[in-house]
Every structure is written in C-alpha cells, then in structure tokens.
Amino acid sequence: MPQRKGLENHTIGSGFLLLGFSDPCSLQDLGFTVFLVIYLMVLAGYRLIALITVVDSSLHSPMYFFLRNLSFLEICYTSVTLPKMLVAFLMEDGRISFLGCAAQMYFLVSLGSIECLLLAAMAYDRYRAICDPLRYTLIMTRGLCIRLVGGSWMAVVPVQIGQTYQVFTLPFCASRDLHHFFCDVPPLLELACADTFWNQVMLYIIILVFAIFPFSLIVSSYIKIITAILKTPSALGRHKAFSTCSSHLGVVMLFYGSATVVYLKQRSKNTVEADKYLALFHTVVMPMFNPVIYSLRNKEVSMALKRLLWTK
C-alpha cells in the first residue's frame, strides 16, 4: 500500500505536539488554574476515602476494600495525564516525546480497563451481599477479593502492552500534530500514515472484553439486586439496600456514559474539537465527582467521615 506524502520514519528521539494546549495565553493561565484545582481535589478526595476505609473498623468489608483499591486506581489514572497537562499549560509547550506518549497511552488505557473490571467486581460484591446474605462472608473472603483485584491487573497488563506496541510501530506522519490534550488510541490512529484496520479491530476487541463484558455483568447483577430489593417486605430494609448500591451505580453510569461517548462515538474531522473536550471530561473531570458521590450517597462513608473529623 503506498504511503502518504510527508511520511517520516519514527525514532525513539522523535515526538508529538499536543495541540490541545494551543489556546491564547489568557486561556492557558485559566486552564492551568482550573486543572490544578481539579488535581488537588482528586488527590485529596481519594486519599481521604482511602484513609477512612483503613482507619474506621466499620468499613473493613469487601465493599470498602474494593473502594480503597478504586481510590488508588483513580489517583493513578488522573496522574497519567494531569501533571503533564499542568506543565504544558505552564510552559505553553505541548511537546511530548515518543516514549512519553507511548507510556501515557499505555497507562491511560490500562488503568481505564482495570477500572471497568473493578467496577464489575464491586457489583458482584453487592449482588452477593443483597441476594445471598447468609453465605456472603463465606463467599466474599479476603482471599477472593485480593484475587479479583490482582486478576484485573494481570488480565489487562499484557493485552495493553500488545496494543501499545501495535499502535507505536505504525508509521506516523511528519507533522506529528496530535489534536488532543494527551496521547490516546483514537487520535493516534488518525495520525498514522498507514492502514489502521487491524488496529481498529484490536481496539474494539479490547473494548468488548474489558468494557462491554464487565458492563453486562454489572447490569445482570443489578437486575438481580433490584429484583431482590423489591421483594424485601421492610421499607427500611429496601431503603438501606438501595443506599448501599446507589453510590456505586452512580459512578458506573458516569464512567460508562462518558466512556461510551469518547470511544464508541463516530469520529470525523468536524468533531475533532468536541472529541478532545469529551475525552478531557472523561479522563480528568469525571474522576473528580466520584469522591463526592461516595461521600454524599453512601451513609456509611459519610458517617465514618464525620467520626474521623470529630475525633480530631
């Protein structure tokens, strides 16, 4: 297949230019301030949740073990993109090295895939707690929880290494102008000067395995959970069951809703600007809401937070 004019062999020393940071200086100053505040809120929110689930003995259950791991994951997830974005806004320089771009894409898609599996594990935990309460402690042992979390990491890591290698062995065009705030699979494939059919196939297989399949498990779990809750004769029991699930369900809807728009929406040249801001919302802004959802919608977390603050 003939290569397009302007093709350039990529080398370790070459890099990309992230054009998401090409706004006027006044907007870059505003962007730096806004994203610095977001990053500090994310770090503070998730560290506080992790601290509460460790310190408060009433939260030493599988549900909060998963929440603690989710908090660690979200800190890593936002740290993949936000520090680099802050430097780019501050220095007014969107350049990123070839290896830096590859590392950023790898960790971004890996951590996003692990989050999908972890959210599914949390849904399974809620299913066992509500639909099979008598055997819950026998089934959801600490060993099983550790295997579910560890298995999520082990399943994702080799697959995403393969996808990263597949993307970054493509020939990229000489301009290397990436119309995005960070390195992600869709904009990088658009920049390639070669047939990306098999890369697209690989991307959709990964989405199917690590996003759609876990989501189907979450939906199946919640259908059974809601059915069981509606059969509960006590109104207080129904309310308590709904309250323990509502925070997780809210996070799932927010995460999958924004991810669907970013990765499954039809992309075109006319939607480049919209696409990069939608991806920014999913990757940077959305994680900021999760600590708020868990602290406001989960009574056990909010009560533990009050106890922690009152003892100071």
Question: What is the pLDDT, as a whole number, of residue 110?
Answer: 96
Rounded CA-CA distance 224/131 in Å is 7
pLDDT for 117-136, tens place per residue? 999 999 999 999 999 989 99
pLDDT for 20-55, tens place per residue? 776 666 567 788 899 999 999 999 999 999 999 898
Residue range 15-310, CATH number: 1.20.1070.10
pLDDT for 45-90, tens place per residue? 999 999 998 988 888 999 999 999 999 999 999 999 999 999 988 8
The residue that leads in pLDDT, 92 or 283, is: 283
Q: Say if residues 48 and 71 touch (Cβ distance below 8 Å).
A: no
Q: Say if residues 284 and 82 touch (Cβ distance below 8 Å).
A: yes
Question: Which tokens is 174 given?
Answer: 């000489």
Residue 192 φ/ψ, nearest 5 degrees: -70, 145
Question: Which tokens is 197 given?
Answer: 């059919």
Could you please report the per-residue DSSP string of 226-273? HHHHHT-S-HHHHHHHHHHHHHHHHHHHHHHHHHHHHHHSPP-GGGHH
Q: How far does CA 309 lie from the centroid of its chain? A: 29
According to DSSP, the residues that pair with 95 across neighbouring strands are: 17
Question: What is the pLDDT, as a whole number, of residue 311?
Answer: 62
Domain boundaries, the chain: 15-310
CB atoms within 10 A of CB 176: 18
Sequence-distant contacts of 71-74: CB under 8 A, at least 24 apart: 71/46, 71/47, 71/291, 72/46, 73/111, 73/114, 73/115, 73/118, 74/42, 74/46, 74/115, 74/287, 74/290
Residue 7: pLDDT band (50, 70, 90) is very low
Give, for 132, the enclosing helix (H) or strand (E). Answer: none
pTM: 0.89
| Mean pLDDT, residues 172-183 taken together | 86
pLDDT for 228-242, tens place per residue? 888 887 777 777 777
Give, for 96, the enclosing helix (H) or strand (E). Answer: strand 95-97
Nearest residue to 74 via CA among 262, 257, 254: 254
